[in-house]
Amino acid sequence: MSKTYALSDLIRADNFIDGQWVPAASGKRFAVTDPATGERIVEVADSGPADARAATDAAARAFPAWRDALPKERAAVLHRWHDLMIENADELGRLISLEQGKPLAEGRGEVLYGASYVAWFAAEATRVYGDIIPNQQRGKRMTAVKEPVGIVAAITPWNFPLAMIARKIAPALAVGCTVVGKPAEDTPLTALALVLLAHEAGVPAGVLNLITASRENAVPAVADWLADSRVHKITFTGSTAVGKYLARESAGTLKKLSLELGGNAPFIVFDDADLDAAATGLMAAKFRNGGQTCVCPNRVYVQSGVYEKFADLLTTRVAALKVAPATDAAAQIGPMINARAIDKIGQHVDDAVSRGARVLTGGRRLTELGPNYYAPTVLADATKQMQLSCEETFGPVAPLFRFDTEDEAIGAANDTPFGLASYFYSQDVRRIDRVARRLEAGIVGINEGALASEAAPFGGVKESGYGREGSKYGLDDYLSIKYLCQGGLE
Ligand code: NAD
């Protein structure tokens, strides 16, 4: 199958329910804007509970046939979807950049990254094994089989408008679940385009349904899924506060939950690190997507012996970053997502400076470029008392904390309720083993800044949530185990 779309043909403004493009039942719409300029791109459906319910109805009708399809039939559909994503990677990448603001190269990179999960789970679809349990009692045969959990509600954030939803839909569809989804209000267009391609790839009507809603109307719309006993699972990526709300509100129907939540990643540079490699790793991990990723280092701990040297090395590189709209091919940092994001970054930097941090580079808004730009920033002399040490800044700000001993660094790194990613640089093999074991995080980068892969388990501990996406473990979140006990076999 081959079909390429122009960008304008990928832009959809209605919900996709039961294989049809339909407006919100209320007829309401809300504007999606370009974060680089604040200009309106298009108005999409502003859905409410009636639309959420219609999506669930369609997913319930479609479930038995999709569950009973052969795994290789589901895999074939997913492979076609993957191929369409790759064929349309340039235009999908442009759409991501348009609504989210990341540079074009990163937008296209996200398409390849998201598509890699679809290919991975297409292959995994045919490898969902159960167990024959060794005989424990005469005359009985005990087996464990895995079944799809049922209807899955997927709710995603704005920072990776394609990858976050692709890595939820792909495993769900692979094992035979049907899906109702709601992308973030800032970036619904990429998800709608993905659904268009899924339909083109042969995903049957009702198997994948997507509604869009403004922040205000998302709450009652999603509440309908939380209360509906036909929805068996919620898979959510977003902030810890909203994750906790969803866990509380879904308790009434005791849903299975996957929660990929916020982080506060530490990045530790020991005296024995290769400083050049550490600076390269930090640039990759911290400044991707303008610092708006959940695995971005939020706190950089540098050992005293190399503190000034590392600060100089980093500052030179950060000061050279090109800040520009995504449409500029040379852009390395685009606009932040919205005014709220810019305000939070400014507030974190101002608070740090008022408590003694030194600005080595950046430290200001770039209003000359547009409403949502912030200069890539390095702060020295960061301390635990600063707001940016306990909350995600979610922007291009690297605060440098000083430490003396390994114990001190690990204690500081773990001194947070969050536990998603962590990073450290050292060339001492015994230290690498010790520190990797003691860091409280779901993901540890050791002398490496780029960690994500479809073949690896992605997820957190502590208040960064639970569940894993990607890898052979990623299917488990969408499966339940059924134990079959057959008697009378003596
Ligand atoms: P958010 O929690 O504000 O919103 C996420 C989604 O939830 C959006 O679709 C939003 O509309 C919806 N939502 C918000 N409130 C809701 C409510 N009361 N009821 C129902 N739905 C609601 O997060 P965000 O600002 O879009 O994304 C940034 C956050 O996501 C950061 O904390 C980041 O660390 C986290 N994140 C985590 C991962 C991960 O894999 N752990 C990946 C990316 C982003």
- Catalytic (active site) residue 260: yes
79 CA to middle of ligand 1, Å? Answer: 28
Question: Average pLDDT of 216-241?
Answer: 98
Domains of the chain: 7-261+464-484 (3.40.605.10), 265-453 (3.40.309.10)
Q: What is the pLDDT of residues 244-283, one digit of tens each?
A: 999 999 999 999 999 999 999 999 999 999 999 999 999 9
**Is any ligand 1 atom within 6 A of the Cβ of residue 463?**
no
259 CA to middle of ligand 1, Å? Answer: 10
| In the chain, % of residues over pLDDT 70 | 100
Nearest CA to ligand 1 atom 35: 238
What pLDDT score does 265 carry? 98
What pLDDT score does 2 carry? 83
What pLDDT score does 490 carry? 85
Q: Position 193: which residue type?
A: A
239 CA to middle of ligand 1, Å? Answer: 4
Nearest CA to ligand 1 atom 10: 184
Q: What is the pLDDT of residues 91-127, one digit of tens each?
A: 999 999 999 999 999 999 999 999 999 999 999 999 9
Question: Average pLDDT of 288-314?
Answer: 98
**Is any ligand 1 atom within 6 A of the Cβ of residue 384?**
no
Q: What is the pLDDT of residues 117-128, one digit of tens each?
A: 999 999 999 999
Question: Average pLDDT of 49-69?
Answer: 99
303 CA to middle of ligand 1, Å? Answer: 34
Which of the following is catalytic: 99, 110, 260, 463? 260
Select from 155, 186, 257, 453 the residue to mutate for testing ligand 1; criterion: most ligand atoms less than 8 Å from CB.
155
**Is any ligand 1 atom within 6 A of the Cβ of residue 237?**
yes
**Is any ligand 1 atom within 6 A of the Cβ of residue 262?**
yes
Which H, E and C letters describe the chain, residue by residue? CCCCCCHHHHCCCCEEECCEEECCCCCCEEEEECCCCCCEEEEEECCCHHHHHHHHHHHHHHHHHHHHCCHHHHHHHHHHHHHHHHHCHHHHHHHHHHHHCCCHHHHHHHHHHHHHHHHHHHHHHHHCCCEEECCCCCCCEEEEEEEECCEEEEECCCCCCCHHHHHHHHHHHHHCCEEEEECCCCCHHHHHHHHHHHHHHCCCCCCEEECCCCHHHHHHHHHHHHHCCCEEEEEEECCHHHHHHHHHHCHHHCCEEEEECCCCEEEEECCCCCHHHHHHHHHHHHHHHHHCCCCCEEEEEEEHHHHHHHHHHHHHHHHCCCECCCCCCCCCECCCCCHHHHHHHHHHHHHHHHCCCEEEECCCECCCCCCCCECCEEEECCCCCCHHHHCCCCCCEEEEEEECCHHHHHHHHHCCCEECEEEEECCCHHHHHHHHHHCCCCEEEECCCCCCCCCCCECCEECCEECCECCHHHHHHHEEEEEEEECCCC
pLDDT at 1 over 70: no
Q: What is the pLDDT of residues 381-401, one digit of tens each?
A: 999 999 999 999 999 999 999
Phi-psi region of 202 (alpha: psi -120 to 50; beta: other; left: phi over 0): left
Residue 304 CA from chain centroid, whole number = 34
Q: What is the pLDDT of residues 141-188, one digit of tens each?
A: 999 999 999 999 999 999 999 999 999 999 999 999 999 999 999 999
pLDDT at 47 over 70: yes
pLDDT at 88 over 90: yes
Mean pLDDT of the chain: 98
CB atoms within 10 A of CB 85: 24
**Is any ligand 1 atom within 6 A of the Cβ of residue 392?**
yes
What pLDDT score does 329 carry? 93
Q: What is the pLDDT of residues 368-378, one digit of tens each?
A: 999 999 999 99
